[in-house]
Amino acid sequence: MSEIFLDIETTGLSFKDKHKIVEIACIETNELIPTKRIFHKLINPERDVPDEAFKIHGFSTNFLKDKPKFYEIADELLNFIGENDLIIHNASFDIPFLNNELKLIKKNIIEKNKIIDTLELARSKFPGTSNSLDALCKRFNVDLSRRTRHNAVLDCDLLREVYINLLDAKEPKLAFNLDTERKTSHVKVSNYSKKIIKLSDTEIKNHKLFLKNELKKNYF
């Protein structure tokens, strides 16, 4: 079974304040190695994008107005995820947004037992310190030079590198060739020429069991 790294960008901090998703990205990996399958959608939130959110991700109300609405891409997203585990940084932010959208269109929500939250994992390993994605990238010397603004596809790639380090695994650095136009849904990633040191099956199995059985999650 594969893993899916997922990230979203939104118009604000809570769906309870009528904020909506504007970007969703998923990167598929197999034993944490990219399969080159990526799901990426920009979404019309059907509301304005506040200046504070625009400064974070750069998507304006006008830019998003001709993009598909969430209900138009929901089945494609769910099919891409399938039965795979979702690896998310700060799932307590992403999952309520996603599940709210899914409830509105009467789709099955994403269950907690499918989710690995790297923020909780980081907090368990580095208590009392900042465990934001930026902070973890700096801790593990993951290159942040590409991250001038929040971008869901790039953040998924950065998270994959951070997660490998959180598992105490090592690998050479790996760069995505991202489409800055952000127009495509399934983006093919090429030029994976560097050798990657794989985690053992036992390490992956033991870690997944630890996360699912020991970490307490509060997503709602």
pLDDT (average), residues 159-179: 69
Residue 192 corresponds to which tokens in the numbers above? 């994976």
pLDDT at 52: 95
Q: Go through 179-207 and write b for each residue having 16 or more CB atoms within 10 A of its CB, e for each that does not.
A: eeebeeeebebeeeeeebeebeeeebeeb
Averaged pLDDT of the chain: 84
pLDDT at 1: 75
> Who contacts 82 (Cβ-Cβ below 8 Å, separation ≥6)?
none
For residue 40, the number of C-alpha atoms closer than 13 Å in the C-beta half-sphere is 22
- Residue 102's SS3 state is helix
d(CA 16, CA 20): 10
- Does the pTM surpass 0.85? The reply is no
Confidence of residue 108 (pLDDT cuts 50, 70, 90): very high
Place of tokens 């899914």: 102
- Residue 128's SS3 state is coil
Look at residue 135 and tell me whether its pLDDT is greater than 90: yes
d(CA 77, CA 24): 9
Residue 190 corresponds to which tokens in the numbers above? 């090429």
Alpha-carbon torsion (26, 123, 15, 105), positive or negative:
positive
Do 169 and 197 form a contact (C-beta atoms < 8 A)?
yes
- Cα-based distances in Å from 91 to 76, 134, 198, 217: 21, 16, 25, 9
pLDDT (average), residues 39-44: 98
Give domain 3-214's CATH number out of 3.30.420.10, 3.30.1330.10, 2.60.120.380, 3.40.350.10. 3.30.420.10
Residue 8 corresponds to which tokens in the numbers above? 């979203």
Active centre residues (catalytic): 150
Determine if residue 58 is left, alpha or beta; phi over 0 gives left, psi from -120 to 50 gives alpha, anything else beta.
left
